[in-house]
Amino acid sequence: KAVPDLSSFPLLLIHEVPLHTTETLQDATKEIAVLMMDDGDSPLGGFIKKLLKTINEELSGRKAQERIQMMLSGACDVAKTSELDEMYEIERASRSGLTSSSSAVSTET
């Protein structure tokens, strides 16, 4: 199993994003949002935006896989998935401490 490089955390290697734990990706997202607020116009701005997009896509995919597994195992019915989405977003927002304006930056391409 490959060990992802954390030497430049929170700036992760884009091709290694799938190798990181969900917790590491969530922590990186929080730290990168702070970097964007402090120095959004830096030469790394384009890379940071691409990294955030890649991390958000990875986290969304993992969330979808988790919901599918819950539905297949019978732990959750299909009607309750919207409740799971809402709980996930609340948890994500509380962990990241992001405002809606800074989270909008994280989804730009």
Residues 3-47: tens digit of each pLDDT = 888 999 999 999 999 999 999 999 999 999 888 887 667 788 888
CB atoms within 10 A of CB 32: 21
Confidence of residue 109 (pLDDT cuts 50, 70, 90): very low
Q: What's the pLDDT score for residue 106?
A: 42
pLDDT in tens, 84-93: 677 777 776 7
**Cβ pair 53, 107 in contact under 8 A:** yes
The per-type count for the chain, helices as H runs and strands as E runs, is 4, 0
Q: What's the pLDDT score for residue 83?
A: 67
Comparing 29 with 72, which gets the higher pLDDT? Answer: 29
Q: For the chain, how long is the longest CA-to-CA vector?
A: 48
Whether the pLDDT of residue 65 is over 70: the answer is yes
**Cβ pair 99, 30 in contact under 8 A:** no
Which whole-number Å values give the CA distances from 11 to 19, 33, 53, in the listed order? Answer: 14, 11, 13
Which whole-number Å values give the CA distances from 102 to 12, 28, 35, in the listed order? Answer: 19, 14, 11
